[in-house]
Amino acid sequence: MVSKISEEIFTSFQKDLLAGDRRQCSMLVEKLLSGKIDVRDLYLNLFQRAMYNIGRLWEYNKISVAVEHLATSITLQMLNLVYPVLFSAEKKNKSAVIACVANEYHQLGSQMVSDIFELNGWNGYYLGSNTPLDDLLKYVDTKKPDILGLSIAIYFNMQNLWKTVEVVRREFPGLFILVGGQAFLWGGREITTEFSDVHYAAGFEDLENLIRQQEN
């Protein structure tokens, strides 16, 4: 796939994100959508790339957390612009429930993961950030998804993830559990060997491969 996101478009979007200019960001995304850009291209080469960069700027103390929050908030709103295209796709009889574990407030990545499920014709049910374990268990019991996706962005929430996976594994022994998020850059991947049927997706490509595996 040849990306429609040129370096110029990317730089301009990132600059507007850092400046907190929601209007300019919306205009750019709307223009790309009216040019029938592939949603994957938009997610991967614009939203994800820009937010990874901004995350690094925050980690290296080049920008404040307030600037990072504002950029995240704007990007979340950009996803809303994509939804009329995203949800109109034909559906397969497959579903995934995606959530951030308790105390995890970074929801952009996990919301994008839910959208990737939709893009692949799955029903991507998104529970949002800071999902209490009891609520998660009830929802999984109601929806009976093919995949449960759990996301963490901050490493100190890793313990919550382990606890969540442990309980979910006990309550729903056969459920395919997907884990991912920026926190795994700091470790924690051994969760996939500690529990059965727990899989780690490092990025969109991994995620789509796992989705295809589950379809077959």
Partner 1 sequence: MPVDMLDILRKYVFTEASLFLLICSSNGRITDSNPYTKQLLGFDPLNYKINDLFLDFTHVVEPRKIFKEIPEDKLFNIKTFTGLPQSLYFRFFDLGSLFLIVGRSDPREQENMRKEIIELNNNLNSLTRQLHKQNSELAKLNKLKDQFLSMAAHDLRNPSGVILNIAEILKENLSAQLTEEDAYLWDRMQKNALFMSQIINDFLDVSLIQAGQLSLRYSSCSIADLLRDNVRQHQIMAETSGLKLSLELPPENIIISCDISKIEQVLNNLLGNAIEHTEKGGDILVKLTADAEHLTITVRDTGMGISPDKIKEIFDFYSKDRKKLSVKKSSGLGLAISQKIIAAHQGKIWVESVVDKGSTFSFSIPLNK
Q: Tell me: does residue 16 bind partner 1 (CB under 8 A).
A: no
Q: Tell me: does residue 120 bind partner 1 (CB under 8 A).
A: no
Task: Give the nearest distance from C-beta 69 to partner 1 in angstroms.
Answer: 7
Q: Tell me: does residue 127 bind partner 1 (CB under 8 A).
A: yes
Task: Give the nearest distance from C-beta 150 to partner 1 in angstroms.
Answer: 16
Q: Tell me: does residue 79 bind partner 1 (CB under 8 A).
A: yes
14/131 with CB nearer partner 1:
131
Out of 11, 27, 59, 83, the only residue in the binding site for partner 1 (CB under 8 A) is: 83
Q: Tell me: does residue 26 bind partner 1 (CB under 8 A).
A: no
Q: Is 158:183 a contact under the CB 8 Å cutoff? A: yes
- Give the integer Cα–Cα distance in Å for 69 and 55: 10
Q: Which long-range contacts (CB under 8 A, 24 or more apart) does 174-178 make?
A: 175/140, 175/145, 175/147, 175/148, 176/146, 176/147, 176/148, 176/214, 177/147, 177/148, 177/149, 177/150, 178/96, 178/147, 178/148, 178/149, 178/150, 178/207, 178/210
Q: Tell me: does residue 111 bind partner 1 (CB under 8 A).
A: yes
Taking alpha carbons only, the member of 169, 208, 214 closest to residue 192 is 169
Q: Tell me: does residue 88 bind partner 1 (CB under 8 A).
A: yes
Interaction site with partner 1 (CB under 8 A): 69, 73, 76-77, 79-80, 83-84, 86-88, 105, 107, 111, 114, 118, 126-130
